[in-house]
Structure 1
C-alpha cells in the first residue's frame, strides 16, 4: 500500500477517534473511496493498529484525570479495576456470541466464514451509524434537559467529572461495547458514553471510563487481527500467492505513529465539544453520515 494512503487513513482515524462518530466507519469509507478492500486481513490489521495509535494518544491525554479518579488511592484503583475488568469480560462474551451468530446465519455455514468479511459493506455500516446517531441524540437531549434543572450551588466541590461509574453503569457500558465490536459504524465511544449518561453517569465519568475500556480491550483485538493476518499469510503461501506479511506489519506500524500524532492534535481542541452540552449534535452528524454512506453504497462503493 502506498505510504500516502497509510498516512491519510491514519489522519482520518486520529481526527475521528475522540468524536463519537465511529472512526472505523470513516476509515472504511476512506478505504473504499481509495479502491481498497476493508475486509482483507491487511486492512483490518491496519485499522486495529490505527486504533492502537490513538489509544496511546488517549492514554497521554487522559492520564492526569485517570490518576485523579482511578489511582488516587488503593480503594479507588480496586473499584476501577473491578469495574473495567467486569465490563471487558461482558464485552468479550457478548461480542463473541454475536460474532458467531452472524457467521452461522449470514454465511449459511460457508467455509472460512469470518465476520470481518462484512466490514467493507456500506449497506451495513449505514444503519449502524444511524443506530448510534439515535442513541447519541437521545442521550444528548437527556443531558440538556438534566443541565437545565441543575442548580450551580448544588454541584459537588469535586465537580461532576471526578469519581467512578457504578458497577451497574459499567455493566451497561460493557454490554453496549459488546454490541459495537462486530458492527462497523456503531460508534464504540458514542454508544458507551451515551449509555453511561442514560443510566445516570455524568458525561465526564462515562467518557473517561469508556476510553479506559478501550485501552484494556485494544491489545486483545490487535493480537486477534495479527493472528488472522498470519493465518491468511500461510494460506496464501500454500496457494502460491503469498501476502507481503512484513510489509503489512510495517505499514500498520507507520499508520499507528501517524494516528497517534493526529489523535493528540484532535484531542487538544475537540474535547471542548464534549463539555458544553452539545453531545446531541454528534447524533445528528451520525444520522447525516448514515445517509451519505448509504448513498455511496447505491453508487457501487
Structure 2
C-alpha cells in the first residue's frame, strides 16, 4: 500500500526546516527525521526529499553566483596546466572534499537510512559534535580565509564531510568545525562549507531523482515544486543570516541549541 501523500502543512514545514537546517550547523537530516516523528506525520517520501535538495542547491548557487564563475574558470585553467590560482585551489578543495563523502554515501546508504536513523543516535551526535564545534570555535586561530587552502586541509575536510552521513552530525557543522581547526575565520569556514554543499547536494538530489525515475513519481507535481521553492527561499535566508550572525556571536548560539536538543532527546527517548 503506498504511503499517504504529505499534506500542504507538512510540505511547507519540512521545506522550511530543510532550507534552514541544511546550512546552519544543526543537522538537516536529524530535523527531517525528528519533526515528522514528533508530529506523527508519515514519511514525506523521496519526491519531496529530492525537491527540497533541488531548492537548497538553487539557494546556494544563487547566493554565490558571483563567486562560481572565477572558481570554474580557474579550475579549467589548472586542468590545462596554466597554473593554480587561489580560485583554482579553492575549486580543487571543493572537489577533493566531496569525493570521500560521495563514495561513503553510496556504500553506506542503506545503513544510514535504517540503523542510524534513531533518536538515540541523533542525541549522541548532536551533543558530541556540538561540543567539538565549540572547541574548534574557541581554539581555532581564525587567521585564514577559504582561498588559502592546502592539500592537507582538503583531506581533513573530506574526512569530516564523510562523517556527516550519520544523522545529527550536520554536514555544515562538521565541515565548519574542520575549517576552524585548520585556522580559517568563522566566515571563511562557513563560506567554504556552503561551497562544499553544492556538489554533495547535487549528488544527493540526483540520486533521489534517479530512484524516483526508476519507481515512478509518487507525489503531485505542484506539491514537489512548492517544496523546492520554499526550501530554496528559506535556505537563501539561512545563508545570509548565518554569515551575519557569525560576525557578532560566533558558533555559541548553535552549540547551545544542539545541547538543548540533545538533552531533550535523551529525556524523551532514553
TM-score after normalising by structure 1: 0.74
- Evaluate the alpha carbon distance shift between residue 65 and residue 295 of structure 1 in structure 2; reply closer, same or farther with a 3 A threshold: farther
For 2:103, the equivalent position in structure 1 comes to 93
Quote how far apart the aligned CAs of 1:175 are: 0.8
Partners of 1:86 and 1:171 within 8 A in 2? yes
Quote how far apart the aligned CAs of 1:96 are: 4.2
Query: What is the alpha-carbon distance in structure 2 between the residues aligned to residue 295 and residue 46 of structure 1?
Result: 30
Query: What is the alpha-carbon distance in structure 1 between the residues aligned to residue 205 and residue 134 of structure 2?
Result: 31
The counterpart of 1:196, out of the listed 155, 158, 179, is 179
Query: What is the alpha-carbon distance in structure 1 between the residues aligned to residue 51 and residue 57 of structure 2?
Result: 9
Deviations 1:124-170 (A, max 9, x none): 21112112212111111114xx46xxxxxxx8xxxx54624222111
Query: What is the alpha-carbon distance in structure 2 between the residues aligned to residue 292 and residue 136 of structure 1?
Result: 19
Query: What is the alpha-carbon distance in structure 2 between the residues aligned to residue 126 and residue 48 of structure 1?
Result: 25
For structure 1, the residue ranges without an aligned partner over 5 or more in a row are 104-113, 148-154, 235-244
- Evaluate the alpha carbon distance shift between residue 81 and residue 268 of structure 1 in structure 2; reply closer, same or farther with a 3 A threshold: closer
Query: What is the alpha-carbon distance in structure 2 between the residues aligned to residue 142 and residue 254 of structure 1?
Result: 42
Partners of 1:165 and 1:205 within 8 A in 2? no
Partners of 1:90 and 1:178 within 8 A in 2? yes
Partners of 1:140 and 1:279 within 8 A in 2? yes
For 1:32, the equivalent position in structure 2 comes to 37
Query: What is the alpha-carbon distance in structure 2 between the residues aligned to residue 118 and residue 49 of structure 1?
Result: 25
TM-score after normalising by structure 2: 0.81
Partners of 2:47 and 2:218 within 8 A in 1? no
The counterpart of 1:117, out of the listed 114, 124, 131, is 114
- SS for the counterpart of 1:20 is coil
Query: What is the alpha-carbon distance in structure 2 between the residues aligned to residue 186 and residue 213 of structure 1?
Result: 16
Partners of 1:87 and 1:213 within 8 A in 2? yes
Query: What is the alpha-carbon distance in structure 2 between the residues aligned to residue 85 and residue 206 of structure 1?
Result: 16
Q: 1:100-249 to 2 correspondence within 5 Å?
A: 115-118=112-115, 120-143=117-140, 146=141, 160-161=144-145, 163-181=147-165, 183-229=166-212, 233=215, 245-247=217-219
For 2:57, the equivalent position in structure 1 comes to 55
For structure 2, the residue ranges without an aligned partner over 5 or more in a row are 1-5, 78-84
Quote how far apart the aligned CAs of 1:36 are: 2.8
The counterpart of 2:253, out of the listed 277, 281, 284, is 281
- Evaluate the alpha carbon distance shift between residue 93 and residue 162 of structure 1 in structure 2; reply closer, same or farther with a 3 A threshold: closer
Query: What is the alpha-carbon distance in structure 1 between the residues aligned to residue 46 and residue 240 of structure 2?
Result: 27
- Evaluate the alpha carbon distance shift between residue 53 and residue 164 of structure 1 in structure 2; reply closer, same or farther with a 3 A threshold: farther
Quote how far apart the aligned CAs of 1:189 are: 0.4
Partners of 1:48 and 1:222 within 8 A in 2? yes
Query: What is the alpha-carbon distance in structure 2 between the residues aligned to residue 18 and residue 250 of structure 1?
Result: 25
Partners of 1:135 and 1:283 within 8 A in 2? no
Q: Between Structure 1 and Structure 2, whose CA radius of gyration is higher?
A: 1
Partners of 2:25 and 2:173 within 8 A in 1? yes
- How many residues end up aligned between the 2 structures? 256
